[in-house]
Amino acid sequence: MHLFIQDVSKFFGQFQALHNVSLEVGSEEFVCLLGPSGCGKTTLLRIIAGLEPFDSGTLKIGERDLREIDAQHRGFGIVFQSYSLFPNMTVAENIGYGLKIRKWPRDKVDAKVRDLMELVRFPELAERYPHELSGGQQQRVAIARALAVDPALLLLDEPLSALDARVRAEMRTEIRDVQRRLGIPTIMVTHDQEEALTMADRIVCMKDGRIEQVGTPQDLYARPQTRFVADFVGISNLLDEQTAAQLSSDLLDHKPEDAATQLLALRPEQLGLRPDGDGDARVTHVTFLGNISRITVEWHGQNLVSEVHSDDPFQPGDRVAFEVRPAAGTWVRA
């Protein structure tokens, strides 16, 4: 089923939290809403869920107008950041709850709960209570509970943000696997660009209640259209025209002609370094990241970031020169 959002706007009093947001989500797609705190991601998710009204625009799933269907009847699965399990119910009861209130017969509920516990891989925890589970386990239960009702759409609001880094990384893969197997369209809110890059089919990058850019992770990384996206998704060196020309005049060859204010966004791996005793750039920091090292270089009063293979021995204080390919980087709106 296809989710269709067109020109949705939302006000809280005088404050406009969403400006004409339009987006379509395909029937098996995993879409991340990515952006800094306050950009409107949660508001958009809550509107889709039916937990928040909106002021103008269209919201449909398939041919059904969602304005006419309240939250309980949309048949969406929702998982929030806080695990929000029922504390007085066991894992199995939590997962089966939605089916029980839909008056499913007992044996069918039991069978479905068993399947879901296999799916999220914790059959042995069925009789435990939420307080007897780790954070990661609780969040798996919350996801299984959301999936129990065969949702038309799965909505995840920062589901991993309360977990520690290792569990978070594991669960990224697990959630993605389950979502692919079941083929449920999914929208996940996150402010973590790495999470969005690793999980999403498409990322919706938001800023101040507007969509800045929508694209695959590869798209957003390789072809950011605005300074904001270049900065928010991955690291970029942002150079104005003069500075870019100083770095290498070839870089101006692919600058779009029409646009007025443009900056060249150059990824750290596109800024090559070579030792050069006469170079006008100087290494100020070296951060070891395993196979690569991130090198900060001071050059004409600004700091540029390069990433090189860790076998290349650069030290703070080294004089260096840059090596950039003529077509490197992307010109973005400032």
Percent of the chain as helix, strand, coil, to the nearest 5: 35, 30, 35
Residues paired with residue 323 on neighbouring β-strands, in sequence order: 272
Q: How far is the CB of 138 from ligand ATP (least distance, A)?
A: 20
Q: How far is the CB of 207 from ligand ATP (least distance, A)?
A: 10
Q: With respect to ligand ATP, which residue has the nearer C-beta, 38 or 316?
A: 38
Place of tokens 């999220």: 120
Q: How far is the CB of 40 from ligand ATP (least distance, A)?
A: 4
Q: How far is the CB of 15 from ligand ATP (least distance, A)?
A: 6
Q: With respect to ligand ATP, which residue has the nearer C-beta, 40 or 151?
A: 40
Side-chain half-sphere CA neighbours of 328 within 13 A: 22
| Phi/psi at 46 (5° precision) | -65, -35
- Longest CA–CA span in the chain (Å) reads 80
Q: With respect to ligand ATP, which residue has the nearer C-beta, 80 or 104?
A: 80
Q: With respect to ligand ATP, which residue has the nearer C-beta, 10 or 112?
A: 10
Q: How far is the CB of 193 from ligand ATP (least distance, A)?
A: 13
Please give the residue ranges that form the binding site for ligand ATP (CB under 6 A): 12, 15, 17, 35, 37-43, 191
Coil, helix or strand for 128?
A: coil
Q: How far is the CB of 130 from ligand ATP (least distance, A)?
A: 24
Q: With respect to ligand ATP, which residue has the nearer C-beta, 44 or 178?
A: 44
Q: How far is the CB of 157 from ligand ATP (least distance, A)?
A: 8
Q: With respect to ligand ATP, which residue has the nearer C-beta, 37 or 88?
A: 37
User: In whole angstroms, how far apart are CA 202 and each of 9, 103, 163, 211, 280?
Assistant: 22, 37, 24, 13, 41
Q: With respect to ligand ATP, which residue has the nearer C-beta, 51 or 286?
A: 51
User: What is d(CA 134, CA 285) in angstroms, rounded to the nearest whole number?
Assistant: 39
User: What is d(CA 46, CA 22) in angstroms, rounded to the nearest whole number?
Assistant: 15
CA angle in degrees (0–180, nearest 5) for 179-220-169: 40
Q: How far is the CB of 44 from ligand ATP (least distance, A)?
A: 7
Q: With respect to ligand ATP, which residue has the nearer C-beta, 163 or 265?
A: 163
| Phi/psi at 212 (5° precision) | -80, -45
Residue with the shortest CB distance to ligand ATP = 42
Single out the residue of 55, 53, 56, 48 nearest to residue 2, CA to CA.
48
Residues paired with residue 263 on neighbouring β-strands, in sequence order: 332
Amino acid at 237: N
Q: With respect to ligand ATP, which residue has the nearer C-beta, 43 or 138?
A: 43
Task: Kindly give, in sequence order, each residue whose CB lies less than 8 Å from that of residue 177, ignoring residues fewer than 6 positions away.
Answer: none
* Residue 301 contacts residue 239 (beta carbons within 8 Å): no
Q: How far is the CB of 161 from ligand ATP (least distance, A)?
A: 9
CB atoms within 10 A of CB 185: 23
Place of tokens 């369209």: 185
Q: Which two tokens stand for residue 11?
A: 């006000």
